[in-house]
Amino acid sequence: MNKLTDELRAALSTPIPSLRTPFTADGDVDWDGVRSQVDFVIAGGAQTIMITWGDSLHSVLTDDEVAQLARTVVEHSAGRAKVIAADNIWATPKAVAYAEYCAQIGADLLMLLPPNWAGSTTTESLVTHFEAAGVHLPTMLVTAFFNQGGGTSVPASMEVIEALHDRVDSVVAIKDDILGALGVQICSTVRPKWVVVSGGLMQNHTFQVPWGVDGYLSMFMSFKPEISWQYFEAIQKGDYESAWETMRTYEAPLRHYMGTVRGGFNAMVHGISELYGISGRHLRAPYHTLTDDQMDELSGVLQGLNLL
């Protein structure tokens, strides 16, 4: 049975970048851009690279491209960082086949996002799903799953989480994007057996710190990693005022601006990657790619925040 190793635990208990699949102007996956991102985040101290259904844009990739993305990241990382692969909301047979594939290519962990249209899964069917995939490599649960069926109560969500925690040893981590009462319950229940990775923002991670949290998914690791580490090291030292100051100075104003950008977060972070010379701004239709005018505006905002 796959279990959490000390090495994998340590690599997950850090600021973690997510891979943001880049495209060419023609809408093809930019594989050189993928490799450039891998090199950049590892140079910035990343110990783990996370492929996610959201940031990695599985929503506009073919299944073959999902598989090729995982292979490209694993092969180019070449052992320099742990790699978390992600599936594509597949039924159990395909999820299991993909888990076997991920093990064969050398991925370290698989984030499973099972389908749950109309709340059609049960605790038992999910235990079976994770058990079957976990035969091949360790797996990770993401709480975004609970939003698929139109929202799930904290007790119902915790029933699934507790069943996986108690019965499926191959589940070793959870990425929490929901927070709130569920986030508190998760931290209080699953650690230290599981690693808890807070999703997306320093703010999210800070919310869970009093309850016990490990790593966090960091937007800044993808373009300004020193800010991610500045925040995280302050938290580790218990210097919360410095951590909050980092959030106030950089994350809060960038989040505010993000809410005004046509195309939203996705378009903005790809635009930032181009401004940093890492990979291009282009996205696959129907997703919006920043225009030249928007890029000029974004550049000005980043310069105003001393981020460029």
Decide if 257 is inside a domain: no
What pLDDT is attached to residue 1?
A: 54
Quote the CA–CA distance of 82 and 18 in Å, as a whole number: 12
Per-residue pLDDT reduced to its tens digit, 3-53: 789 999 999 999 999 999 999 999 999 999 999 999 999 999 999 999 999
Per-residue pLDDT reduced to its tens digit, 162-214: 999 999 999 999 999 888 899 999 999 999 999 999 988 999 999 999 999 99
Decide if 240 is inside a domain: no
Per-residue pLDDT reduced to its tens digit, 240-262: 999 999 999 999 999 999 999 99
What pLDDT is attached to residue 200?
A: 82
Given a cut of 80, is residue 135 above it in pLDDT?
A: yes
Q: Which two tokens stand for residue 196?
A: 């808890």
What pLDDT is attached to residue 56?
A: 98
Q: Which two tokens stand for residue 66?
A: 């999902």
Report, as an integer, the average pLDDT of 293-304. Answer: 98
Given a cut of 80, is residue 82 above it in pLDDT?
A: yes
Question: Residues in the chain, how many?
Answer: 308
Given a cut of 60, is residue 140 above it in pLDDT?
A: yes
Decide if 296 is inside a domain: no
Decide if 265 is inside a domain: no
Number of domains making up the chain: 1
Quote the CA–CA distance of 266 and 6 in Å, as a whole number: 34
Decide if 280 is inside a domain: no
Domain at 220, CATH number: 3.20.20.70
Q: Which two tokens stand for residue 255?
A: 């989040």
Q: With H, G, I as helix, E, B as strand and everything else as coil, classify residue 198.
A: strand
Decide if 213 is inside a domain: yes
**Which residue range(s) make up the domain with 130?**
6-224
Q: At what angle do helices 92-105 and 63-77 cross, to 10 degrees?
A: 20
Given a cut of 70, is residue 150 above it in pLDDT?
A: no
Q: Output phi, psi for 134, to 5 deg.
A: -70, -5
Report, as an integer, the average pLDDT of 87-104. Answer: 98
Decide if 261 is inside a domain: no
What is the greatest pairwise CA distance in the chain? 53
Per-residue pLDDT reduced to its tens digit, 252-292: 999 999 999 999 999 999 999 999 999 999 999 999 999 99
Other Cβ atoms less than 10 A from the Cβ of 256: the count is: 10
What pLDDT is attached to residue 149?
A: 63
Decide if 284 is inside a domain: no
